[in-house]
A and B are shown apart, each in its own frame.
Chain A
């Protein structure tokens, strides 16, 4: 038990410590567990970088906006489909589920997005994959099992319209499930880079993950500039520390939110597994 916790923890601790260490310590390999010559240099440098800041802003926009759109669409689909009397319900549900099993694939989808003139727009990030059928199923199950028929009957008897029922009864009672799917959508949006990779061209729209990828993995964007040898060595070390800092700040938002939503997270997995 203890061993596994440590194994899981160690890489995270190492990265965090490294991000606070001095450049020289990293190069000479002195950092094992705790920060050596701790300082905030890496962080100040990172926050000054316009690309990083821009990416951060974009990710916030995509995550907030995308989650909103996705949750709205999910409820807009789950609520009608949960009403047992609705004609065509099975048909429509099947339509949604089918897309879990079979899809057009990368190229045809790309061309649809292209023909809709969405290439290189922010909409390309939040629209094509707005509806996760998995989340839809979870919400649908929740609606069907947790909302009793009596509530609906009582409301209908009092003359409430479907929309009224939605806003006054269903939504207030569904806060838990909205939290769950909202969380899953948000995680997905914040962490993914694939859609941005294929649909976006202008760097001012890049989300943080793409910026990260360019800096950390492809070594394309340079956090440091200049040609002086000694300075370059120092900057090279600096580049490494900054990479560590970058890793920390990009994971920080989700990891900071995580403790608060931990129970929702577990609940979501359970709900999903009840269905499957």
Chain B
């Protein structure tokens, strides 16, 4: 045993440069990721800025109770989960279709071109995306508003509608992400054994038959794994896009956990309460991530690490 320790220490001393290198990211990690975890105790206190974190009084689960019993609780959780599920369900068929379509293109040049145009939206920032939406749905000059009106839409402020919020959010997401999502499916498609294609040809399959019987089953594991992993993110809808699309009129359907934490914490200075909500959210996410990872491991051979 002493031998092992001596060997370890020798290794460590020998490679001091590696440890020195590691020190810098480690410091960044500790300061900006682990110190805040320590700060989670704010959720259990009545935080007073004047007293600082360590001297503020303990109040136990008071803030958590306040959150669970608040009238907004179900609406906020509901919005978050609904948006997530809606996004997942809406996005994956299109990504698969796109991947299959791209796979069918015989010319590499055609494929590159399609790739080029469908990935491009990914590079557009959230601010630009939402601005584009607002311009195109503008009550006065919006070109898509005009289109909707052709189909009998009576109202004029799409962004003010609470019910429209989800659809706007999800479908703009589909527009932006489909190209990116398709990459994985495309990779899986190209990994399908060529012999299966040859066999299908010999059997006289039409193109659609081949897609149905060879392509889809071939990427089925990928689809399932991705779906499972996506479920792990159900409670963590991102802040940026929702916040930009929010306004007082659509708030009942657009307030999600992340924006609620922001509003309560940094706008209303309700620090302890906001920390408690955030803590709750992080905890749920952790449980979800661990669970879906276990599930994905059982189904396939891959997981997050």
**Residue ranges of A at the interface with B (Cβ–Cβ < 8 Å):** 1, 4-5, 7-9, 11-12, 14-15, 18, 26-27, 29, 31-32, 73-74, 76-77, 79-81, 83, 85-88, 92, 95-97, 99, 101-113, 116, 127-131, 136-137, 161-163, 166, 187, 190-194, 198, 209, 212-213, 216-217, 240, 243-244, 246-247, 250-251, 254-255, 258-259, 262, 265-266, 269-270, 273, 275-276
Contacts and interface: CB of A to CB of B under 8 A. Distances in A.
Given A5-B114, A15-B135, A255-B123, A99 B33 contact: yes
Contact of B290 (A1, A101, A128, A162): A101
B120 A255 contact: yes
Nearest to B226: A273
A110 B8 CA distance: 39
A121 B123 CA distance: 27
Contact of B127 (A26, A80, A104, A209): A209
For the residues of A in contact with B, the DSSP-based class is: helix
Given A105-B275, A105-B281, A191-B125, A262 B115 contact: yes
B105 A1 contact: yes
A162 B24 contact: no
25 contacts: A4-B101, A14-B143, A32-B143, A73-B25, A77-B21, A77-B25, A85-B11, A86-B15, A92-B22, A96-B29, A102-B283, A104-B34, A105-B279, A107-B261, A111-B36, A112-B39, A113-B32, A127-B28, A162-B18, A163-B21, A198-B262, A209-B126, A212-B127, A255-B120, A276-B229
A193 B94 CA distance: 28
B26 A102 contact: no
A166 B20 CA distance: 13
Given A105-B282, A112-B35, 8 more contacts: A97-B305, A104-B34, A107-B265, A108-B35, A108-B278, A162-B17, A251-B128, A270-B187
A116 B115 CA distance: 44
Interface in B198-249: 229, 239-240, 244
Contact of B33 (A81, A104, A136): A104
A213 B29 contact: no
B36 A109 contact: yes
Given A127-B28, A270-B187, A251 B289 contact: no
Interface string B83-109: 000000000001001100110110000
Interface of B: 8, 11-12, 15, 17-19, 21-22, 24-26, 28-29, 31-40, 42, 53, 94, 97-98, 101-102, 104-105, 114-121, 123-128, 130-132, 134-136, 138, 140-141, 143, 146, 175, 178-180, 183-184, 187, 229, 239-240, 244, 261-262, 265-266, 271, 274-275, 278-279, 281-283, 285-286, 289-290, 302-305
B135 A106 contact: no
B244 A86 contact: no
A86 B19 CA distance: 9
B240 A193 contact: yes
B120 A107 contact: no
A258 B130 contact: no
Given A194-B239, A247-B128, A9 B117 contact: yes
A4 B96 CA distance: 12
Contacts of B19: 80
A102 B286 contact: yes
B184 A269 contact: yes
A27 B138 CA distance: 11
B112 to A, nearest CB: 8
A108 B125 contact: no
Contacts of B265: 106-107, 110
Contacts of B289: 101
**Listed residue (A4, A163, A216, A244) with the most chain B CB atoms within 10 angstroms of its CB:** A4
Contacts of A217: 127, 130-131, 134, 244
Contacts of A193: 125-127, 240
